[in-house]
Structure 1
Amino acid sequence: MITRIAGGDPSCSNGNCPTVYVDDQAPDTVIIQGNNLDPVSTSAIGDIPAHEGLLRVPRELIISAYEQLTKAPA
């Protein structure tokens, strides 16, 4: 099951972004939903493999997700 652990901005069109999720089938990973980077930012980073992406998320969202992850059972 995929569970939201942080985020959900009410100003977002569907109230569900940016958001951080965990997946109980892949406990060593975190899923981050957010706005795609603009082409200038993406090109400044360099080559990104086609199967990967870059997301810009608010710092506070990462802190909130960290707080939830440290509470979660291992």
Structure 2
Amino acid sequence: MALRFVGIDPSTGQGESPTVWVDEERAELVIQGWKPDAATRAECAAFEVPGHAVGIPEHEQVVRVPARMIATLREACDVAEAAELR
């Protein structure tokens, strides 16, 4: 795996650091964010999408990322998309 660092929360402090990387080999985003509270996790787990099981699979996780990271996420999407086209 070759992770490419894209960016970190511009308002990060010592104890918080939502971060975005791109795995250029797999053309995937890797996101570090805050753990959701129980209410958020429960709401996500109850969300129904046609053709999908309800719930969060054991091998997946919900994370929270601040809106101030939107530009960083867009950049990461561009990097991942370029990697996929290679």
Give TM-score scaled by structure 2 length.
0.66
More relative contact order, 1 or 2 (CA 8 Å, 6+ apart) = 2
Question: RMSD of the TM alignment (CA)?
Answer: 2.1
Q: Residue 2 in 1 paired to residue 3 in 2?
A: yes
Which structure has more strand as a fraction of its residues? 1
Which ranges of structure 1 fall in alignment gaps of 5 or more residues? none
| Separation of aligned partners in 2, 1:22 and 1:45 | 24
Q: Residues 26 and 41 of structure 1: is their aligned pair in 2 closer, same or farther, counting only changes over 3 Å? A: same
Structure 2 residues without counterparts, runs of 5 or longer: 46-54
Matched, 1:39 2:47: no
Q: 2:67 aligned to 32, 36, 59, which one?
A: 59
Give me the identity figure in percent: 27
Q: How far apart in 2 are the matches of 1:45 and 1:68? A: 24
Q: Please identify runs of 4+ aligned residues in structure 1 that moved more than 4 A.
A: none
